[in-house]
Amino acid sequence: MSETNGPRRAAQQMQEAARYLARATRNLDAPSDSHEILRSLTETQGSIAQAIRELAAWHRAAAAGTHYSRPHNESARGVMTAVAELDIAAQEADALQETLNRAHGGSSVVNWMEEPEPEPETPAGDD
């Protein structure tokens, strides 16, 4: 598969987008943007969790002599380790998505203001 297509390129594009997002979220132009960013992060995290589960399934099905050299015990151990760790990562990715969903829910009840409220005027002579 070429590097311009497929999962490898998709992972690279996601990495680049995540790096851009990390820089872009330092300053939000509008407070309400935070709510939409949380929504997008929640949905993205669901896709990441799915990709991790797919990678775990692929590694689980990897066959000696087809996908890696045989007999090569180190390769077999590496595949088993990858499967176990990817299974854990998938569970943790699901938990992160749930946490982001709760944060998004909390943000949904906030009355975000695009402009600050003016300071209340104080009567003259109250200084």
Span 57-77, pLDDT tens digits:
999 999 988 888 888 789 989
Closest CA to 37 of 55, 53, 22, 59: 22
Residue 76 tokens, joined:
């077999």
**Mean pLDDT, range 68-88, rounded to an integer:** 92
Go through 22-31 and write b for each residue having 16 or more CB atoms within 10 A of its CB, e for each that does not.
eeeeeeeeee
pLDDT band at 94 (very low <50, low <70, confident <90, very high): very high
Measured CA to CA, the distance from residue 79 to residue 59 in angstroms comes to: 6
* pLDDT of amino acid 125: 63
Domain assignments of the chain as residue spans, ordered by start: 33-108
Q: Is pLDDT at 78 greater than 70 in this prediction?
A: yes
* pLDDT of amino acid 1: 47
Q: Is pLDDT at 39 greater than 80 in this prediction?
A: yes
Q: Is pLDDT at 92 greater than 70 in this prediction?
A: yes
